[in-house]
Amino acid sequence: MRREEVAAATRNQMKIVREAAGGNQQLWELAVLGKGRKRRTVFFSERVVDALRAHWADRGHDFDDEISYLAVISAVVVPATHSAKKKHLDTRGELTGSGLAPASIYLLLTTILERIAKDKSLPLTAVERELLCRVAPHVLRHTWATDAVARKMPLDVVHFG
């Protein structure tokens, strides 16, 4: 997904498209307004939705409220700036569930990648650490697509991912 799509995604745009049966995992979809204002569908595995559920629990929100207009991804910790507090906290100081700005998503991802690179407990080579420090989040989209094609995912599916 593009960071603009992540920033705009709300829970009510997500739904289950395949129920778990016979040991199969659920499949979820999210309708997004993508690049060029084109509508497209992004699919999520049950594993991703479980991570989103945990994120919502950290926020104090109920992910299973399927009519919720809260952002799929939102702040858990709010910076002490006036603008951040105004956007992410209500008058009682509780999280509003407002989405992150695309630039904030970029900063969050680059910070995570840098922390991974600097974590000496991880078995990474110097080259891998350097690459993690330099990679832009958009490159992750290309990496995912390359891997999907290598795994024989149909090109029309890769194109919309």
**What is the structure's pLDDT at 23?**
59
**Are the C-beta atoms of residues 61 and 68 closer than 8 Å to each other?**
yes
Question: Is residue 131, in this structure, part of any structural domain at all?
Answer: no
**What is the structure's pLDDT at 26?**
84
Question: Is residue 15, in this structure, part of any structural domain at all?
Answer: yes
Partner residues linked to 28 by β-bridges = 16, 44
**What is the structure's pLDDT at 137?**
82
Domain total of the chain: 1
Q: How far is CA 84 from the centre of its chain?
A: 20
Q: How far is Cα 103 from Cα 6, in angstroms, rounded to an integer?
A: 11
**What is the structure's pLDDT at 20?**
57
Question: Is residue 13, in this structure, part of any structural domain at all?
Answer: yes
pTM (2 decimals)?
0.81
**Are the C-beta atoms of residues 13 and 31 closer than 8 Å to each other?**
yes
Question: Is residue 145, in this structure, part of any structural domain at all?
Answer: no
Question: Is residue 128, in this structure, part of any structural domain at all?
Answer: no
User: Domain of 49?
Assistant: 1-76
**What is the structure's pLDDT at 157?**
66
Question: Is residue 58, in this structure, part of any structural domain at all?
Answer: yes
Question: Is residue 87, in this structure, part of any structural domain at all?
Answer: no
Q: Low-confidence residues of the chain, pLDDT below 50?
A: none
Q: Which helix (H) or strand (E) segment is 140 a member of?
A: helix 137-150
Cβ-proximal residues to 122 (8 Å cutoff; 6+ apart), any chain: 116
Question: Is residue 4, in this structure, part of any structural domain at all?
Answer: yes
Per-residue pLDDT tens digits for 109-130: 999 999 999 999 999 999 999 9
**Are the C-beta atoms of residues 60 and 89 closer than 8 Å to each other?**
no
**Are the C-beta atoms of residues 161 and 144 closer than 8 Å to each other?**
yes
Name the strands in the sheet holding 39-45, side by side, starting at the edge strand that comes first in the sequence: 14-18, 27-33, 39-45
